[in-house]
Amino acid sequence: METYNEDDFFSLGITMACAVSAGCYTAGVMDYLFEILDKWEKAKKDESSPDFKKVPQHCVRIDAMGGASAGGMTTTMSAIYALNGVINPVINPEDSSKADVNILYKSWVLMGDDVDKNEDGNKRPLFEKIWDNDDLENGVFGSLLNSNFIDSIAEKAFEVDKGINLVDKVKNLPSYISKDIQLLYSHCFLRGIPLAVNFETQISKKEEEV
């Protein structure tokens, strides 16, 4: 593996905003970014390609990622995706065959559609699950719709093979992901902070005096 000095890298820090369900778009951007960086790294090593001399040889490395809410979720998924060491971009969004090897697509696009099945063996769509009443078993009414699917998605995202060695996973990180990458998360207050804003102008002052 070719090595570089620290001065050879263009370091990136990626901030992902809170976006509710629009986090799927953020996830799509990260999926595409990983795809492009992966292709670039391979192109830099392919001396047999007729376009090899045209490929920029400088290095880009992601040193930090972070966000709030949906952005924080996508940050975590991106880190897990990178630790797998193999990038499997979704070229055709309608093709779900790569869902199991692309955590971003599986979590944000399928959103649990591929997990549970009906008695007839067909997959249960998310829209059907949100009407289940198993979230009321403890006698607590938490939300209008059943949100248990969120816990299911999170559990699936963190599933790993037994006997996993994190040290080996870090060694398999793509070269464009720093082995010392910083993951930053922020928490937003659910209650607003009262803040008085004075919109008074010189004109309004004159009108009050009159």
Identify the burial level of 27 via C-beta atoms within 10 angstroms of its C-beta, where 0-12 means exposed, 13-18 middle and 19 or more buried: buried
pLDDT exceeds cutoff 70 at 120: no
Confidence (pLDDT) at 22:
85
- pLDDT tens-place string over residues 150-160: 888 888 877 76
Q: Domain spans of the chain?
A: 6-112+162-188
Quickly state the pLDDT bin for 14 (edges 50, 70, 90): very high
- pLDDT tens-place string over residues 53-65: 888 888 889 999 9
- pLDDT tens-place string over residues 87-99: 888 888 777 676 7
The partner residues of 186 in beta bridges, in order of sequence, read: 68
Cβ–Cβ under 8 Å, residues 23 and 67:
no
| Mean pLDDT, rounded, for 57-85 | 89
Residue given tokens 């599986």 in the structure block:
106
Question: How many angstroms from the chain centroid is the CA of residue 187?
Answer: 17
* Pair of tokens at residue 195: 């803040």
The partner residues of 59 in beta bridges, in order of sequence, read: 9
The partner residues of 10 in beta bridges, in order of sequence, read: 60
Judged by average pLDDT, the poorest of 36-45, 114-123, 135-144 is 114-123
Confidence (pLDDT) at 161:
62
* Pair of tokens at residue 169: 């996973």
Using the Cα atoms of residue 167, residue 108, residue 127 and residue 141 in order, give the sign of their dihedral. Answer: positive
DSSP letters along 118-158, please? -TTSPBPPHHHHTT--GGGTTS----SS--HHHHHHHHHHT
- pLDDT tens-place string over residues 1-10: 455 555 677 8
Confidence (pLDDT) at 1:
45
